[in-house]
Amino acid sequence: MQDRYRAASDVPKASPVPGYNAASHMIVYVGTTTGQGRAEGIGVFRMDDGTGALTHLQTVQAANPTFLWIHPSGRYLYAATRGSVGGADGDTPRSFIEAFAIDPSQKTLTAINRQSSGGQSPAYVSVHPTGRCVFAANYTSGHVASLPVKADGSLGEAATVILHEGRSVDARRQEGPHAHFIQADPTGERVFACDLGCDKVFIYRVDPDKATLTPNEVPYGQLSSGAGPRHLSFHPNGRLIFVINEMDSTLSSFAYDASRGAMEIHDTRSTVPEGYAERTHTAQVVTHPNGRFVYGSNRGHDSIAIFGIDQERGKLTPLGHEPTQGKVPRNFNIDPTGT
């Protein structure tokens, strides 16, 4: 198995983020898939900043809290959840964005409220940099939504719900829209939504005070047919965007014109080694805080693909693969030290 990967020692080490204070970044919140024989909800852990070891503090029950996002204030956490809610008509599938308060000293979670995600099967949740609104991407139905955040961290009903339109070349997986990601750009003026079913990154203007979304003058960035864009990551310089494509296992880099909200493709590279022919799909993409590296996860090849970044031209240089020590790595993140 070792020949499938380049050794980690062969890859240039990433430098820590200047000015980082480890004492304020010691808690890890983990989203899970729940159900019989599986996890029970959101896991809360304390991280040893020296070794990376995790100590379990709490599990908060929630139905499939598969993606999480912390409010800029650090006081609240939001989760994309989907499951069944009992009632007179029996168990009915429901899709929510749920709000939790973070205890200021213990960092444990307490449920506040939940609202409809505006569609079916939310795959992603994020918070605007101002903290005034939350965004949801609903994979099954293809809807994106924006919800207001109240003063106590609770969520109001969705102010905007938009159904993406389009399809692409794969009749089974791209028969219609499948929104998989939604997040504001570093300026907070626009919101980007990856749609696997349409091979597009839809772009919206946002009014955080009203929690509303409207189509951008440049309405989308285009990926190649059958690519299946899943997630994206903004470079710290604000001039580059990296999009990971689930279906063809590639990573694409774009120049970003923040004045217009426009994306121009620069480079696309495979996330798996040349000649690898087994079934595999990508999942998450993360840019290192120092701006020198970008990483993507392979589900099937079961690795993290490592790329160097030409920060002026946006070109990607493959640097190898690191095994994830487990199967089907869905999401991952870099600790705040960058190490």
229-251, pLDDT tens digit by residue?
999 999 999 999 999 999 999 99
Q: Which residue has the higher pLDDT, 322 or 20?
A: 322
What SS3 state is found at 198? coil
147-195 pLDDT, tens digit per residue, is 999 999 999 999 999 999 999 999 999 999 999 999 999 999 999 999 9
Q: What's the average model confidence in pLDDT over 255-266?
A: 97
- Residue 67's nearest CA partner among 16, 134, 19, 129 is 134
Q: Which residue has the higher pLDDT, 51 or 61?
A: 61
CB atoms within 10 A of CB 13: 10
- pLDDT at position 50, please? 84
* Degrees to nearest 5, angle at CA 48 with 69 and 307: 60
Q: Is 249 helix (H, G, I), strand (E, B) or coil?
A: coil
Q: Any residues with CB less than 8 A from the CB of 275 and at least 6 apart, and which?
A: none
- Say how many CA atoms lie within 13 Å of 41 toward its Cβ: 16
Q: Which residues contact 149 (CB under 8 A, 6 or more apart)?
A: 71, 76, 99, 127, 131, 132, 133, 134, 155, 156, 211
**Residue 49 confidence (pLDDT) above 80:** yes
Please give the distance of CA 53 from its chain centroid, rounded to a whole number.
23
Q: Does 21 score more than 50 pLDDT?
A: no
Main-chain dihedrals φ then ψ at residue 82, nearest 5 degrees: -150, 135
Q: Is the pLDDT of residue 20 over 60?
A: no
Judged by average pLDDT, the poorest of 72-81, 234-243, 329-338 is: 329-338
Residue with tokens 């004045």: 259
Tens digit of each residue's pLDDT (9 = 90 or more) over 97-137 = 999 999 999 999 999 999 999 999 999 999 999 999 999 99
As a whole-number percent, the residues of the chain with pLDDT over 90 amount to 84
Q: Is the pLDDT of residue 205 over 70?
A: yes
Residue 37 has pLDDT above 90, yes or no: no
CB 99 within 8 Å of CB 114: yes
Tell me what pLDDT residue 66 has.
93
* ∠ Cα 326 307 285 (to 5°): 55
Average pLDDT over residues 259-277: 97
| Per-residue model confidence as pLDDT tens digits over 83-102 | 864 444 445 568 999 999 99
Q: How much is the mean pLDDT over the chain?
A: 91
* Helix/strand/coil for 23: helix
DSSP label at residue 159: S
What is the reported pLDDT for 35? 87
Are 204 and 257 spatial neighbours (Cβ–Cβ below 8 Å)?
A: no
> Both tokens of residue 250?
């590639």
Cα–Cα dist 230/208, whole Å: 24
- For residue 255, with 0-12 CB atoms within 10 Å meaning exposed, 13-18 middle and 19 or more buried, which class applies? middle
Q: What is the pLDDT of residue 25?
A: 56
Nearest of 264, 218, 209, 222 to residue 241 by alpha carbon: 264
Q: Which two tokens stand for residue 197?
A: 């079913």
pLDDT digits (tens, 9 = 90+) for 270-312: 999 999 999 999 999 999 999 999 999 999 999 999 999 999 8
Q: Is the pLDDT of residue 59 over 80?
A: yes
Q: How confident is the model at residue 26 (pLDDT cuts 50, 70, 90)?
A: confident
- Judged against a pLDDT cut of 80, whether residue 23 lies above it is answered with no
pLDDT of residue 91: 55
